[in-house]
Chain A
Amino acid sequence: MNGAKALWATLANHGISTVFGYPGGAIMPVYDALTFYPEVRHVLTRHEQGAAHAAEGWAKATGELGVCMATSGPGATNLVTGLADAMLDSVPLLAITGNVASHLMGTDAFQEADITGITLPITKHNYVVRDVAELPRIVAEAIRIARSGRPGPVLVDIPKDIQLAPYHGDIPAPHARPEIPAPSPESIERACELLRGAKKPVMMVGGGSLDAAAEITALARAWDIPVITTLMGLGTFPASDPLWLGMPGMHGSVAANRAISEADVLLGLGLRFDDRVTGRVSGFAPHAAIIHVDLDAAEIGKIVRTHVPVRGDAAQAARLLAEGAQPPARAEWRAQLDAWKARTETPSHWGAGSAVKAVVDRLRPDDLLSSDVGQHQMLAAQLARFEKPRRWINSGGLGTMGFGLPAAIGAGMAEPGVRSVVIAGDGGFQMTAQELATLKMYDIRNVKICIINNSYLGMVRQWQELFHEKRYSEVWLGDSNPDFVKLADAYDVPAYRASTAEELPGAIDAWLADPRSALLEVVVPHEHGVFPMVPAGAALSEMIETEPARPGAPTPEASEA
């Protein structure tokens, strides 16, 4: 057995069933050894970035480790965006890269890049394997690090000679997951004490709570506390529950942002108070005592002042907090929240908002919904009604355009029986459109792509409109966009198009009814914005609730003419 075979044997021993990757010179021994391990499926994407995002999609849908693979140099650097994305969204990801032979490392050899140096700030940890005897142990340790505590990406770089060197050792079994220390009883007691005295409490849950949905739902009901789910936490609390207030932050709901601004106690679970959530930090939850539950001690007190820090797992903490529940009557607070909730706008006119709504309204609770990055992402986050966690696959922290399609493929392959819908924009879709070939190659049948085409880089255009006096600099794509239906056809992916509100329902029906993966292009008016919106640097209470009127400017409908 050589190092390359030892790598596959270790991955197989760890239950890795699927690896997304792309071969190249410095990883050829690994691809050669792959032919001896039919128990591991390798998915050939059309770009290493696609492989990384597909592995992320897999991990985000299942909570299990995603694995991607690339060769040295350009292959490895193409993984960088995916690794940074996984780092910011705490996604368990293992990246394997080949590298030039050990004796060539550091000599600027052909296709050599210092990938461990490059990825040092965007991985949880990384390794260069310098001795084949260490290879399986390092891979096992990398998997443990990626999955344990706050998950994240780990990269293992393997020089070509190490892949070829003979290996005589054992193949390691998976590490047991380390026990997570329970939150201190004292911190739980202090949190309960605050909640008992709270007149206007609110709970905010983030991506660190995805596997604590049941406990959090029980906690919210036990204390009768309304729940806000961040972009990363959508689905952790059922949208159908009357206690749900929506998403907070820059494009958050009126109810969520008003509740944060008025609350006297804010209980945050598994979130990191991202600037897109807080707005101007000094104006965030100005009246609230903040209880922050997080596994990662470095997050507590990092951004917002914390009154009661609770270090621990969200599920454990929620269970302990629910045990102390003594809900006081808070009729006034509920009435206030209900009044704010009533102001949730549903898009009425034809545009990106109503198009996204028409699509997300057709989702079933088990369906996966991925998004790319931009206006359609915020619209989907605002309008989709998630009942379960791990159904919403999106690039939150890094905001990676091009994430949607490969992530939906990864998620769809993880759950082949489930519909994997992706909403993309015309800009982001073109960043990884080549992954349509991956759909065709593996005959993936459950990925449903919806492109909301407004012929603009819509979110940038919206900011230029609001903050740069409508100088629309380099955001117009309309004259150069491809014919998306023809493009899909070229990849042998069935495609549909709707350009009016009247056409849309029929097109959605045909698109979803197609037994294969299919694409739907929805052509919408150019100049719609996403609202509510909190301008960057403003406090949540300074939210712009509805799209401002444009005096003298053509209406979106007129501009279509």
Chain B
Amino acid sequence: MTPEQPTPDHLLSILVRDEPRVLTRITALFGRRGYNIKSLSVGTTEHPGVSRMTIVVSGDRGVVEQAMRQLEKLHDVVKIIDHSLEKYVDRELVLVKVAINPETRVEVRQIAEDFRSRIVDVGRHALTFEVTGDEGKITAFIEQLRPFGILETMRTGRIALTRGSNADIPAHVYHPGETQTLQPVLSAEPREERAREVPNLF
């Protein structure tokens, strides 16, 4: 890959034990090995003791493979999902504060309506919108508003779930009530799968 080409983004979900310093452990691993985190969101899950991180990391396939394998070795990591390997839904919440004047007020409101965005704050010279959606929608929304003058934006970072009825945390990984009985990282099977994916350069 030549330096001019943009590196692709990868969307990872990382299920971790809810322990002190786990965020530091994960981000330090990315930092030390020079993998750039583009977006990071962390929240609790339906299982007490398990948190879920969604990380967008840029890099070629090999970089992401290596990042995942290094992550898997961390004691706090319960499971890693590379969403590029399956179907998923993802969302991001963005607040956008855009400048308005009497001439543009209606037009801005119309754009927001088209994007099913809600107004969360009204000022004399600015409107603040809330918009959720996937990356494409949010980018398009912001681009539409840009000519009016964007004063501030804040994005939560992407979150994602695998599509379908299976849960990402298998029941056997976690036994409710005993936070310490989390099984160590995954079964051997998916890791073997990945090991076989090492690119054959011959």
Interface residues of A (CB under 8 A from B): 116-117, 120-121, 124-125, 128, 137, 141, 145, 150, 178, 181, 184, 186-187, 289, 296-298, 300-302, 305-307, 309, 311
Indicate if the CB atoms of B199 and A298 lie closer than 8 Å. no
**What residues of chain A lie closer than 8 Å to B74, measured between beta carbons?**
125
Indicate if the CB atoms of B199 and A311 lie closer than 8 Å. no
Indicate if the CB atoms of B198 and A301 lie closer than 8 Å. yes
Indicate if the CB atoms of B195 and A128 lie closer than 8 Å. no
Given A124-B75, A302-B66, A305-B201, list of 14 further CB < 8 A pairs? A116-B21, A120-B28, A121-B29, A121-B32, A124-B73, A128-B20, A150-B73, A297-B72, A300-B195, A300-B198, A301-B198, A309-B195, A309-B198, A311-B192
Indicate if the CB atoms of A125 and B75 lie closer than 8 Å. yes
Contact of B62 with A by CB under 8 A: yes
Indicate if the CB atoms of B70 and A305 lie closer than 8 Å. no
Question: CA separation between A306 and B201, bound complex, in Å?
Answer: 8
Task: Label chain B's interface by main secondary structure.
Answer: helix
The distance from the CB of B64 to the nearest CB of chain A, in whole angstroms, is: 12
Indicate if the CB atoms of A307 and B195 lie closer than 8 Å. no
Contact of B5 with A by CB under 8 A: no
Question: CA separation between A296 and B195, bound complex, in Å?
Answer: 10
**What residues of chain B lie closer than 8 Å to A181, measured between beta carbons?**
188, 192
Chain A, residue nearest B198 (CB): A301
Question: CA separation between A401 and B75, bound complex, in Å?
Answer: 30
The distance from the CB of A266 to the nearest CB of chain B, in whole angstroms, is: 13
Indicate if the CB atoms of A184 and B21 lie closer than 8 Å. no
> B128-171 CB contact bits vs A (8 Å, 1 = yes)?
00000000000000000000000000000000000000000000
Interface residues of B (CB under 8 A from A): 20-21, 24-25, 28-29, 32, 62, 65-66, 69-70, 72-76, 180, 184, 188, 191-192, 194-196, 198-202
> Would you mind naming 17 contact pairs between A and B with Cβ atoms under 8 Å apart?
A120-B21, A121-B29, A124-B75, A125-B76, A186-B196, A187-B195, A297-B72, A297-B194, A298-B69, A298-B70, A300-B195, A300-B198, A301-B199, A306-B198, A307-B200, A309-B195, A309-B196
The distance from the CB of A359 to the nearest CB of chain B, in whole angstroms, is: 39
The distance from the CB of B192 to the nearest CB of chain A, in whole angstroms, is: 6
**What residues of chain A lie closer than 8 Å to B195, measured between beta carbons?**
187, 297, 300, 309, 311
Question: CA separation between A58 and B85, bound complex, in Å?
Answer: 45
**Most interface-central of B29, B62, B196, B202 (chain A CB within 10 A):** B196
**What residues of chain A lie closer than 8 Å to B69, measured between beta carbons?**
296-298, 300
**What residues of chain A lie closer than 8 Å to B192, measured between beta carbons?**
181, 184, 311
Indicate if the CB atoms of B24 and A117 lie closer than 8 Å. yes
- Other-chain residue from B25, B188, B200, B201 in contact with A120 (beta carbon distance below 8 A): B25
The distance from the CB of B195 to the nearest CB of chain A, in whole angstroms, is: 5
Chain B, residue nearest A298 (CB): B69
Question: CA separation between A341 and B141, bound complex, in Å?
Answer: 70
**What residues of chain A lie closer than 8 Å to B25, measured between beta carbons?**
120
Q: Taking A307-B200, A311-B191, A311-B195 as contacts, is the C-beta distance between A298 and B75 under 8 angstroms?
A: no
The distance from the CB of A304 to the nearest CB of chain B, in whole angstroms, is: 10
Top 5 closest pairs, chain A to chain B, by CB? A298-B69, A181-B188, A301-B198, A125-B75, A311-B195
The distance from the CB of B186 to the nearest CB of chain A, in whole angstroms, is: 11
Indicate if the CB atoms of A120 and B198 lie closer than 8 Å. no
**What residues of chain A lie closer than 8 Å to B198, measured between beta carbons?**
300-301, 306, 309
The distance from the CB of B10 to the nearest CB of chain A, in whole angstroms, is: 17
**What residues of chain A lie closer than 8 Å to B62, measured between beta carbons?**
301
Indicate if the CB atoms of B196 and A298 lie closer than 8 Å. no
Question: CA separation between A137 and B179, bound complex, in Å?
Answer: 13
Question: CA separation between A311 and B191, bound complex, in Å?
Answer: 9
Indicate if the CB atoms of A120 and B24 lie closer than 8 Å. yes
**What residues of chain B lie closer than 8 Å to A120, measured between beta carbons?**
21, 24-25, 28
Question: CA separation between A406 and B66, bound complex, in Å?
Answer: 35
- Other-chain residue from A117, A187, A298, A306 in contact with B66 (beta carbon distance below 8 A): A298
Question: CA separation between A207 and B154, bound complex, in Å?
Answer: 49
Chain B, residue nearest A183 (CB): B192
Question: CA separation between A427 and B94, bound complex, in Å?
Answer: 59
The distance from the CB of B41 to the nearest CB of chain A, in whole angstroms, is: 22
Chain B, residue nearest A301 (CB): B198
The distance from the CB of B171 to the nearest CB of chain A, in whole angstroms, is: 21
Chain A, residue nearest B184 (CB): A178
Chain B, residue nearest A125 (CB): B75
**What residues of chain B lie closer than 8 Å to A117, measured between beta carbons?**
21, 24
Question: CA separation between A128 and B21, bound complex, in Å?
Answer: 10
Question: CA separation between A178 and B188, bound complex, in Å?
Answer: 12
Question: CA separation between A306 and B69, bound complex, in Å?
Answer: 15
Chain B, residue nearest A138 (CB): B180
Indicate if the CB atoms of A298 and B73 lie closer than 8 Å. yes
Indicate if the CB atoms of A121 and B28 lie closer than 8 Å. yes
The distance from the CB of A38 to the nearest CB of chain B, in whole angstroms, is: 32
**What residues of chain B lie closer than 8 Å to A141, measured between beta carbons?**
180
**What residues of chain A lie closer than 8 Å to B28, measured between beta carbons?**
120-121
Indicate if the CB atoms of B21 and A305 lie closer than 8 Å. no
**What residues of chain B lie closer than 8 Å to A305, measured between beta carbons?**
199, 201
**What residues of chain B lie closer than 8 Å to A178, measured between beta carbons?**
184
The distance from the CB of B66 to the nearest CB of chain A, in whole angstroms, is: 6
Indicate if the CB atoms of A307 and B180 lie closer than 8 Å. no
Indicate if the CB atoms of B180 and A137 lie closer than 8 Å. yes
Question: CA separation between A515 and B191, bound complex, in Å?
Answer: 54
The distance from the CB of A292 to the nearest CB of chain B, in whole angstroms, is: 9
Question: CA separation between A311 and B186, bound complex, in Å?
Answer: 15
The distance from the CB of B148 to the nearest CB of chain A, in whole angstroms, is: 45
Indicate if the CB atoms of B202 and A307 lie closer than 8 Å. yes
Question: CA separation between A150 and B198, bound complex, in Å?
Answer: 20
**Most interface-central of B65, B195, B200 (chain A CB within 10 A):** B195
Question: CA separation between A117 and B28, bound complex, in Å?
Answer: 10
**What residues of chain B lie closer than 8 Å to A306, measured between beta carbons?**
198
